[in-house]
């Protein structure tokens, strides 16, 4: 796109420089050609007075040829060939073509005005053929046409590039809208995730606090159980000591029973059968009490375990 813009800019500068150069030379050549015009007027006046009529001389033919070019074709050809004859092209016949274009422009703009004498019916009816253009001018004209075609092609390329640029701009706007929508969606999603992460952090902190509290309760319960266990151990030790004492008492009672039976056998003959029965009843009562105490101690020992 940059080379296309540069080419169009150079073409515009070239046409502008040609217009400035042509306008500068038109004034000078217009002033220079006023003098030959006066000389031709004097010569025509002399011939008119001496001959008594109008003569179709070579000077009149030259004047008529120089003033009878087609203004429309000459103006268009001068405009087309002015760009080709500019200094930027560097052609060897640029000055010659510039003179031709300046003459055409001067004749069209009215700077060169020949005062032609009134022509007779015979002279006015004559048609003078236009002089052929030089070969260099034809080459310059074709070169100018080629440059114009290239300029038109460049303009078409520029229009295509501008359309592509407009389409790209629209696509870019659509992409920007989509990116903004995605950015907004991502921002909302990130905000929601951050909110969820914060909520999870609060829940985690609450769970950790509850867990620590539960651990504290557990530790306290363990300490309590350890205290109860220690107390139970002391009770069991006391019960074991008491059981040992009861066993010793039972052994003593058994030994006492044996002694009682021995004494009973000894005193059987002395005190009689009544005393023996009384002694046996008392021993049975003591034995029953010892058995009941022994059963109670076993039950308490089983409960303590």
Are 100 and 78 in contact by the 8 Å Cβ rule? The answer is yes
Model pLDDT for residues 28-77, shown as the tens digit of each residue:
655 665 555 444 444 444 444 444 444 444 444 444 434 434 443 444 44
* Percent with pLDDT over 70 in the chain: 52
The pLDDT value recorded for residue 202 is 92
* Percent with pLDDT over 90 in the chain: 15
Are 253 and 287 in contact by the 8 Å Cβ rule? The answer is yes
pLDDT for 211 beyond 90: yes
Radius of gyration, CA atoms only, the chain: 72
The pLDDT value recorded for residue 29 is 59
Model pLDDT for residues 187-202, shown as the tens digit of each residue:
898 989 999 999 999 9
Model pLDDT for residues 73-128, shown as the tens digit of each residue:
444 444 444 444 444 444 444 444 444 444 444 444 443 343 444 444 444 444 45
The pLDDT value recorded for residue 10 is 72
Between 154 and 272, whose confidence is greater? 154
Domain spans of the chain, in order of start: 2-133, 221-304
Q: Minimum mean pLDDT among 159-168, 171-180, 248-257: which range?
A: 248-257
The pLDDT value recorded for residue 46 is 42
Instruction: State how far the Cα of 157 lies from the Cα of 168, in Å rounded to an integer.
Output: 16
């Amino acid at each position: 796109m940059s080379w296309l813009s540069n080419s169009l800019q150079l073409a515009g500068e070239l046409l502008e420089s040609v217009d400035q150069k042509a306008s500068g030379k038109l004034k000078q050549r217009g002033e220079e050609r006023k003098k030959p015009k006066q000389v031709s007027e004097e010569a025509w006046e002399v011939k008119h007075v001496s001959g008594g009529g109008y003569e179709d001389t070579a000077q009149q033919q030259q004047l008529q040829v120089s003033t009878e070019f087609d203004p429309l074709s000459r103006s268009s050809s001068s405009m087309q060939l002015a760009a080709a004859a500019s200094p930027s092209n560097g052609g060897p016949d640029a000055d010659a073509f510039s003179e031709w274009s300046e003459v055409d422009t001067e004749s069209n703009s009215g700077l060169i005005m020949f005062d032609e004498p009134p022509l007779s019916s015979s002279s006015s009816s004559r048609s003078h053929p236009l002089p052929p253009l030089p070969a260099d001018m034809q080459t310059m004209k074709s070169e100018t046409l080629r440059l114009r075609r290239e300029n038109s092609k460049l303009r078409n390329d520029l229009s295509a590039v501008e359309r592509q640029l407009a389409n790209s701009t629209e696509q870019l706007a659509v992409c920007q809208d989509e990116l903004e929508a995605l950015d907004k969606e991502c921002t909302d999603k990130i905000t929601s995730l951050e909110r969820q992460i914060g909520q999870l952090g609060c829940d985690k902190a609450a769970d950790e606090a509850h867990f620590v509290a539960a651990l504290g309760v557990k530790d306290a319960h363990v300490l309590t159980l350890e205290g109860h266990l220690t107390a139970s151990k002391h009770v069991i030790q006391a019960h074991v000591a008491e059981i040992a004492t009861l066993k010793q008492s039972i052994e003593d009672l058994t030994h006492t029973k044996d002694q009682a039976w021995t004494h009973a056998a000894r005193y059987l003959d002395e005190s009689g059968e009544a005393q023996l029965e009384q002694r046996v009843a008392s021993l049975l009562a003591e034995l029953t009490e010892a058995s009941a105490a022994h059963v109670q101690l076993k039950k308490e020992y089983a409960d303590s375990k």
